[in-house]
């Protein structure tokens, strides 16, 4: 199985007529937030495979992608893969719907972990917008990751975590880290991930 994971508004890399040729072997599309809904709708229409997504801090309050499955705060089994998601970033303004304090994200991770354990007996892929604190994040408040994700990774033990939010350029910063037996990947702007 191959996963095409995307994040953060750099849409011209894939938004073109050749998307079907370049990504013909992709089995699942994962949106890690801050992508226009019509862009993701275009990609899912062209590739004709399932799309799951979480919200980014710049997404509108009523963000929905036609043809996609919103997994923010949910767990789904798609093509045999158990996949869960938590969108949003650290709260940096009072009116941001997809922004959370550390405490709010902690409670969101607890609720999600209970669902993972009760209904799915484990997790394969964890999709977020923000990274874990200290892993691929940045020193500014807006781009700091969440401590709560550390506990979630320790308890849920997913094989893979996909996130966006931090604009990491290849060959300049680390985009892959293994932590608690989970491979964590910053997918900005996009990444094709092989899944065994």
Q: What is the mean pLDDT of residues 16-42?
A: 90
Q: What pLDDT does 170 receive?
A: 57
pLDDT for 15 beyond 90: no
Q: What is the mean pLDDT of residues 45-54?
A: 95
Rg (CA), the chain: 15
Q: pTM for this structure?
A: 0.93
Q: What is the mean pLDDT of residues 36-60?
A: 92
Residues with Cβ within 8 Å of 42's Cβ and at least 6 positions away in sequence, in order, are: 15, 19
> What is the residue extent of each domain of the chain?
2-194
Contact call for residues 4 and 185 (beta carbons, < 8 A): no
Q: What pLDDT does 196 receive?
A: 66
Counting beta carbons within 10 angstroms of the beta carbon of residue 85, is it exposed (0 to 12), middle (13 to 18) or buried (19 or more)? buried
Q: What is the mean pLDDT of residues 122-131?
A: 95
pLDDT for 172 beyond 60: no
Q: What pLDDT does 19 receive?
A: 84
pLDDT for 171 beyond 60: no
- What residues pair up with 28 in beta bridges, in sequence order? 3
Q: What is the mean pLDDT of residues 121-134?
A: 94
At 153, is the pLDDT very low, low, confident or very high (cuts 50, 70, 90)?
very high
Q: What is the mean pLDDT of residues 118-135?
A: 92
Q: What is the mean pLDDT of residues 108-136?
A: 92
Architecture label for domain 2-194: 4-Layer Sandwich (3.60)
Unique residue bearing structure tokens 């004709």: 48
pLDDT for 168 beyond 70: no
């Amino acid at each position: 199985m191959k996963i095409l994971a995307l994040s953060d508004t750099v849409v011209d890399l894939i938004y073109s007529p050749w998307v079907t040729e370049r990504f013909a072997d992709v089995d699942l599309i994962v949106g890690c937030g801050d992508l226009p809904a019509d862009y993701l709708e275009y990609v899912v229409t062209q590739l004709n495979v399932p799309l799951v997504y979480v919200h980014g801090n710049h997404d509108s309050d009523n963000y929905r992608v036609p043809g996609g499955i919103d997994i923010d705060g949910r767990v789904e089994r798609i093509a045999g893969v158990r996949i869960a998601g938590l969108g949003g970033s650290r709260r940096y303004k009072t009116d941001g719907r997809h922004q959370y304090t550390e405490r709010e994200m902690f409670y969101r991770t607890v609720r999600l972990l209970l669902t993972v354990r009760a209904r799915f007996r484990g997790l394969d892929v964890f999709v977020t917008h923000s990274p874990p604190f200290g892993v691929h994040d940045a020193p500014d408040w807006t781009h700091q990751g969440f401590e709560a994700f550390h506990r979630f990774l320790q308890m849920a033990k997913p094989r893979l975590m996909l996130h966006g939010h931090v604009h990491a350029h290849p060959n300049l910063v680390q985009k892959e880290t293994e932590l608690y037996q989970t491979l964590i990947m910053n997918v900005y702007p996009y990444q094709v991930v092989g899944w065994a």
